[in-house]
Amino acid sequence: MADCIFCRIAGKEIPSQVVYEDDAILAFNDINPQAPVHVLFIPKEHIASLAETEDRHRDLLGRMLLAVRRVAEDRGLGQGYRVVNNCGSQGGQTVNHLHVHLLGGRSMQWPPG
Ligand code: 5GP
Ligand code: ZN
């Protein structure tokens, strides 16, 4: 998707601070961090949102969460962290390429806004 900012980040057309990468997933620091650690995990394949995932994405989705856990360990988030997926307009999604936020390094509040 040429007009998708996260596809362009996945294709390295737009630079990002990469913290994890494998054949299917890229993780990079959020440009507007909301916590001391704020990392975004995206599939390299364009998927618009969690609502667009299918059964064939089972392995990819599992690998994304395992990548989150790995980065959380690497970043020393042993006291806990939050994993967020904003899905759709009412979910607060602003970039229409599936992504998971890892937020950590401070105490989180509940409920979210
Ligand atoms: P959403 O609101 O869709 O769940 O999250 C989109 C996230 O992408 C936001 O936290 C925003 O700061 C981040 N973001 C948007 N554009 C860029 C960019 O060009 N580079 C990086 N690293 N993050 C971005
Ligand atoms: Zn995309």
Which CATH number do you get for residue 10? Answer: 3.30.428.10
Ligand having the closest approach to the CA of 8: 2
Q: Is residue 44 part of a domain?
A: yes
Q: Percent of the chain at pLDDT above 70?
A: 100
**Dist CA 47 CA 31 (whole Å):** 21
Is residue 110 situated within a structural domain? no
Residue 50 has phi, psi (to 5 degrees) of -60, -30
State the residue range of the domain holding 70. Answer: 5-104
pLDDT at 1 over 80: no
Determine, yes or no, domain membership for 96. yes
pLDDT of residue 89: 98
Residue 97 in any domain: the answer is yes
Ligand 1 neighbour 49 (Cβ under 6 A)? no
At residue 94, does pLDDT exceed 80? yes
Which of these, 86, 24, 88, lies nearest to 59 by C-alpha position?
24
Q: Is the dihedral of CA 3, 61, 86, 72 positive or negative?
A: negative
**42 within a domain of the structure (yes/no):** yes
C-beta of 16 in contact with ligand 1 (< 6 A): yes
6 lines ligand 1 (CB under 6 A): no
User: Which atom of ligand 1 is the closest one to the Cα of 84?
Assistant: 4
* Cβ atoms 42, 6 nearer than 8 A: yes
89 within some domain = yes
**For the chain, what is the domain count?**
1
Is 111 a member of any domain? no
What is the model's pTM?
A: 0.98
Would you call 97 a catalytic residue per the annotation? no
Closest CA to 53 of 98, 9, 95, 8: 98
pLDDT digits (tens, 9 = 90+) for 14-66: 999 999 999 999 999 999 999 999 999 999 999 999 999 999 999 999 999 99
